Amino acid sequence: MRLIPQSALPTRHKAFSLIEILVATAVLAILLSLILTILNSVSTTVRHTSAKVDAFASARAAFTLLSQRLAQATLNTYWAYDQPPPQTPTAYLRQSDLQFTVVQNTRMAGYGQEAYFHTPQSYSDNNNLRTTEGLLNATSFFVQFGSNDSFRPNNLTEKKYRYRLMQGLQPTERLSTFKDPATTTGVPNWAGEIGNSASPSSYVSPLSDNVIAVIAWPRLSPHDDPTGAELTGDYTYDSKKDATRVPQPPTANQLPPMVQLTMVVISEASAVRLDKQSSTPPPEIEGALQGKFANVNRYKTDLDDLQRELTAKNIEFEVFTTTVPLSGSKWSDDQ
């Protein structure tokens, strides 16, 4: 019998079985499902992040402007005798015609603090004077809740009740600092036009909606005061307080070296949900702020508690924090 060479035998082609094809198809389907799930998750995260960035963009810009204005605060402090001639002087004291004041928010302490100070913003009612460098202005900032009636453009009819960061900027020609004696506690007399009034003047305008708290903490450097409680225990500060006392306190007619600034903002979506078209502030926010930001030793605890309460109420929020060095401060412990 003649043997047929192996190479002459018909070639048998290998093929996938039906079971192998089904298994491969199932694996591919699972992989595609996982990929689609991941892509959808990434896309959702990107959209959410972008929306959050957009929602807080205005607040971020306002926080930057607020920090810049605060950094420019000035007192123009000088030394002079406590008694002008012909009286007999008894001491050589720090003097200033200006004032730097931080007080608890007059509407609700939980909103944080109001600040009143002077900055060379060159703001004037006269357009021709606005190019003049160094014109002095009285400046303020604070949080308040209310409608947009007093500053809503005429072509807009929608009434919105919001928490807002407000800024006061008194024009140079209306500056009353030099003719209206400063108070030693609370809002200074000269700050009437830019104060936290229920009917704000034309010199008070919103910087950003949905700001529920601004915490201004005057303090020394961390090296000189690790706890931050050396200058104030309740966040308040007044450069005129006891300024004529002998010896003067270190705060007399001096700017603090720095102010730790914190701003808490809720999203517009949360604000819309809370807007009941009422002048009464939403209890969800009021309850979360109640009793907070009155003692510097509880700053971290208060902030942590506030964030936890807002989260529990499904309120979207963002916290901005920075330390603002006051360039005009020439801090000294000399008395």
Boundaries of every domain in the chain:
44-149+158-325
Bridge partners (DSSP) listed for residue 163: 145
Name which of 14, 139, 156, 2 is nearest 67 in CA terms.
139
- pTM as predicted: 0.82
Q: Residue 319: what pLDDT?
A: 97
Contact 74, 90 (CB under 8 A): no
Residue-wise pLDDT for 148-182, tens only, equals 888 877 777 788 999 999 999 999 999 888 776 66
Higher pLDDT, 126 or 74: 74
Q: What would the two tokens of residue 3 be? A: 């043997």
Looking at residue 12, what is its pLDDT? Answer: 58
Give bridge partners of residue 141 from the DSSP assignment. Answer: 115, 167
- The partner residues of 318 in beta bridges, in order of sequence, read 265
Mean pLDDT for 105-120 is 95
Long-range CB pairs of 274-277 (<8 Å, 24+ gap) are 274/315, 275/160, 275/161, 275/162, 276/161, 277/159, 277/161
Which pLDDT score, from 0 to 100, does residue 149 have?
87
Partners of 177 in the beta sheet? Answer: none
- pLDDT for position 13: 57
Strand order in the sheet with 204-209: 204-209, 162-170, 137-146, 113-119, 101-104, 237-238
In this structure, the number of other CB atoms found within 10 A of the CB of residue 23 comes to 12
Q: Which amino acid is at 78?
A: Y
Burial class (CB in 10 A: 0-12, 13-18, 19+), 144: buried
**What pLDDT is stored for residue 34 in this prediction?**
86
Q: Which of 164, 212, 235 is nearest to 318 (CA)?
A: 212
**What SS3 state is found at 243?**
coil
Q: What one-character-per-residue DSSP string does 108-148 give?
A: -GGGBEEEEEEE-----SSGGGTTSTT--EEEEEEEEEE-S
Closest CA to 67 of 293, 258, 294, 330: 258
Q: Is the pLDDT of residue 282 over 60?
A: yes
Which one, of 110, 331, 117, lies nearest residue 231 by Cα?
Answer: 331
**Distance (Å, whole) CA 169 – CA 203:** 6
pLDDT tens track for 216-259: 999 999 888 989 899 999 999 999 999 988 899 999 999 999 99
